[in-house]
Amino acid sequence: MALYAGTVAAYADMYVTQPVLPLLSREFGVGPARAGLTVSAVVLAIAATSSAYGPLSDALGRRRVMAGATAALAVATLACAFAPGFGALVALRAVQGALVPGMTAVSVAYAGDRFAPHELGPAVGGIIAASVVGGLVGRVVSGAIAAHFGWRASFVVFAVLTAAAALAVARGLAPGARSRLGWRRAYGGMLAHFREPRLVGAFLVALALFFGWIGIFTYLPYRLSAPPYRLGTGTISSVYLVYAAGVLVSPIAGRLSARVPHRTIIAVGLAVEAAGMAIVLARPLPLVVIGLVVLVLGTMTAQAVAPAFVNLTAREAKGGANALYLSFYYLGGTLGASLPGLAWEARGWPGVVAICGAAVAVGMAANAFLCGRAPAAAAADAPPSPR
């Protein structure tokens, strides 16, 4: 529960501004693409710093890194509430992003240390479900608070919740042992993962998953606040309740991975995600909501098993492997939070969906042609390959 609490808090802090982008546009006089920087700054910072936390946790211990980073995240979240201008807000959001992977990039490696291989799939599925809950809470609660008390109040509330989560992590997780790899071997082992085609394929899948996901949900408020819908901030934030579908499907996919090959589940998830994107092109609001549900089901099905695939494929420096997965995941999020904004300004909602669909196609190709490759270096005593 402590692990899940830290995960929920970290992901909630990431998405505080997403449902209130139109409010930020009006208050600071910025367009959709610039307002989206309050999202892309977070994910860019996560992408840039995630690779540091995996080896750091390999050398110092998982709990110490997770608890310290989450406590610092609470301080950065509170500081966002007092940002004097748009530039300062973006900068503080980047600080948040630099601290988030202290929790999120280490949690799967912590689970890999604590659970046997056959238990890892359900455990990771639970972590992914917690991340979905965090995204849901961040979007829905933030929008509801902002509708009544302003967007700054949202940051105050989430700072308090994050501080409580940091305490839970510090007191609730087992300390674990430090790795024998040391600093040099921990970082060297992380870079060596790029020689493994299966891991490179999984990293590209991560990039594609989050690009499509964040591209659709970041620019959704602009579509729903425009004609013919003209929905208010509170109503738009309630649409993010579709995330609940991810809370349900993630543990199911995790348990299913014990019997069905990981790559098969990833392929199905990507295909379902693409189908959801096609449906959200429809004009009737009920169909848009249905398409979002389908998109969530597909994305979270793939995301529930891909980190476990990485953890089982990496033979050593597992913290580094999981950190690289998260780096690519949020690199996709960085691109997905900005490039679809340009597509929106050029082609509107169809442009957003088209560029997000192209990213999903990249993930499908990576899963088909790289994740199924033979290991780069086989050994007689090598453990069984994840499916």
- pLDDT bucket at 324, cuts 50 / 70 / 90: confident
Q: DSSP label at 375?
A: P
Q: How many structural domains compose the chain?
A: 1
Give the residue with greater pLDDT, 230 vs 18: 230
- pLDDT bucket at 384, cuts 50 / 70 / 90: very low
> What pLDDT, on the 0 to 100 scale, is given for residue 381?
40
Region 176-200: mean pLDDT is 72
> What pLDDT, on the 0 to 100 scale, is given for residue 380?
37
Give the 3-state DSSP-derived string for 101-162, with helices as H, strands as E and coil as C.
HHHHHHHHHHHHHHCCHHHHHHHHHHHHHHHHHHHHHHHHHHHHHHHHHCHHHHHHHHHHHH
Give the residue with greater pLDDT, 234 vs 80: 80
> What pLDDT, on the 0 to 100 scale, is given for residue 61?
78
| Percent above pLDDT 70 for the chain | 93
Q: DSSP label at 314?
A: -
96 domain-assigned: yes
Diameter of the chain measured on Cα atoms: 63
> What pLDDT, on the 0 to 100 scale, is given for residue 387?
52
* pLDDT tens-digit map of 230-245: 988 778 878 888 878 8
Domain extent at residue 234: 2-178+187-369
- pLDDT bucket at 168, cuts 50 / 70 / 90: very high
d(C-alpha 202, C-alpha 189), whole Å? 17
387 domain-assigned: no
Backbone φ/ψ region at 176: left (φ over 0), alpha (ψ -120 to 50), beta: left
47-62 burial string, b = 16+ CB within 10 Å, else e? bbbbbbbbbbbbbbbb
> What pLDDT, on the 0 to 100 scale, is given for residue 173?
85
Instruction: Give me the half-sphere count of Cα atoms (radius 13 Å) on the Cβ side of residue 14.
Output: 32
d(C-alpha 179, C-alpha 379), whole Å? 23
Contact between 151 and 24 under an 8 Å Cβ cutoff? The reply is: yes
Q: Which two three-digit tokens encode residue 285?
A: 């609001």
Helix (H) or strand (E) holding 3: helix 2-14
Q: Return the minimum-mean-pLDDT range out of 42-51, 194-203, 216-225.
A: 42-51
Q: Return the minimum-mean-pLDDT range out of 115-124, 130-139, 345-354, 365-374.
A: 115-124
Q: Give the contacts of 5 (CB within 8 A, at least 6 positions apart).
A: 164, 165, 168, 169, 172
> What pLDDT, on the 0 to 100 scale, is given for residue 298?
96
- pLDDT bucket at 166, cuts 50 / 70 / 90: very high
Give the residue with greater pLDDT, 13 vs 43: 13
What's the chain's Rg over C-alpha atoms? 20
330 domain-assigned: yes
- Cβ count within 10 A of residue 79: 17
Q: Cis (ω within 30 of 0) for the bond into 228?
A: yes
Q: Is the pLDDT confidence value at 158 over 70?
A: yes
CATH of the domain at 100: 1.20.1250.20
Give the residue with greater pLDDT, 29 vs 270: 270
120 domain-assigned: yes
Region 275-304: mean pLDDT is 95
216-238 burial string, b = 16+ CB within 10 Å, else e? bbbbbbbbbbeeeeebebeebbb
81 domain-assigned: yes
Give the residue with greater pLDDT, 132 vs 207: 207
Cα dist. 225→17, 236, 328 in Å?
Answer: 16, 8, 31
Kindly write down the DSSP assignment for every residue of 169-226, as one continuous string. Answer: HHHHS------SSHHHHHHHHHHHGGG-HHHHHHHHHHHHHHHHHHHHHHHHHHHHHS
d(C-alpha 157, C-alpha 173), whole Å? 24
- pLDDT bucket at 114, cuts 50 / 70 / 90: confident
- pLDDT bucket at 383, cuts 50 / 70 / 90: very low
d(C-alpha 289, C-alpha 383), whole Å? 44
Give the residue with greater pLDDT, 280 vs 137: 280
67 domain-assigned: yes
| Percent above pLDDT 90 for the chain | 42
Q: Is the pLDDT confidence value at 375 over 80?
A: no
377 domain-assigned: no
- pLDDT bucket at 91, cuts 50 / 70 / 90: very high
Q: Is the pLDDT confidence value at 74 over 60?
A: yes
What does the mean pLDDT of the chain come to? 86
> What pLDDT, on the 0 to 100 scale, is given for residue 180?
54
386 domain-assigned: no
